Amino acid sequence: MSDAMKIFLTNDAPAAHWGTADVTFTQDQARIHLQAGDQLRQVQQAARKIRSQGLSEVVLSGIDWDLNSQWAFALGFATAKAEGKIHWSGDEALQAALNARLESANFARHLINETPENLSPVSLATQAAKWLAKLGGDKVTYRIIEGEALLEHKWIGIHAVGRGSERPPALLELDFNPLDVDAPVSAALVGKGITFDSGGYSIKASEGMLGMKCDMGGAATVTAALGLAIKSGLNKRVKLFLCCAENLISGHAYKLGDILTYKNGVSVEVVNTDAEGRLVLADGLQAASETGAPLIIDAATLTGAAVMAVGTNYNAIFSPSSELLMRAQNKASAVAERVWPLPLDPWHKEMCPSPYADTANSRPVKGGGAGGASNAAGFLWRFVSPDAQWLHLDLAAAFADTANGLWAAGATTHGMLTIAGLLED
């Protein structure tokens, strides 16, 4: 620690010879010069610059570091190649909160950045379950349904999307229950866990496929959020469903024109095998609805349309409940994450029509056509209990294809704190 660079925050301008630099150095110290505006963003950008200088260990020094500013620094300091070491500022309680965030984020980051070859659907489900079981002890129980057994339980979508791979698809059903055996479920989480997405027969271009190891980012994010909530003393029963599959091409793969009839009776024509995320989430949302949970949250790297709408520094959120949207916005703001609501009306359920089935899984045009993110949310809505409040997060900010001023290339874990906050509410 004595050799680590000390990092200070200051509202003072840099010395004249530094010009307009936002980070300056003197011997074993660096100063981040804050200006008016979004100072947390400035801290994160400064952390990226400091890490790019080759520093792997730093001490956050001085009295100006609060929870959010230290977390912003940690996000900018993280890379896919190495975690780095940050010595936090503040009292034991503050440092414990930061360590809980970092451990949960690092778990998700490791999964998302893992190579597709090393992370099969069953491996994703198993690693998530074992990590949560380690945190929750005997309060956590789970089972993994894989391969042909999915059909026995009528989980049609996960099976269809994953059957083209030699490695079987899987559904993780996990129960965190710190209360009585028969306690009601307070919330259910659903995560998209596509460990690699080739697009199937609607195959992606090479540049669009390169980052598709991140397509299980929703599963990693909800798992990390539940883990963080458990670390923070969550005293509510929560169920978790991870919908895990590889979307590959083979003689066994599902095809355009196939019709899937789901457990709830909804029939779906496949018009785009690259719109696979909503097909697996449909199973997870039905499973979540069966728990009777009054709150259902799903997270998925679902549509490019969400990225086009809100960019890569926001996650898009959808809900039929304006009150829940407001809660999500307030929670995100409190933890310095960014969400933005996009339209979702009942008629969005009908925006992917099919002459052969109740609905199609997309529209047969490039990118799903106008309003693609809302249309995808409308599709998912068909599989949610009308008795539950439902929040859908389209994780536009979950992964950086290339390094930029805020993030190193790879997983960002943006959204984890928002979901954890909603669970703790």
Residues with a known catalytic role = 204, 278
Between helix 372-381 and helix 277-290 the angle, nearest 10°, is 40
Query: Which H or E run contains 415?
Result: none
Spatial neighbors of 137 by CB under 8 A, at least 6 apart, are none
Report the C-alpha gap between 72 and 231 in whole angstroms.
20
| Residues with Cβ within 8 Å of residue 160, at least 6 apart in sequence | 254, 258, 260, 270, 279
Beta bridge partners of 257: none
Instruction: Say whether 77 sits in a helix, a strand or coil.
Output: helix
What's the longest Cα–Cα distance across the chain? 71
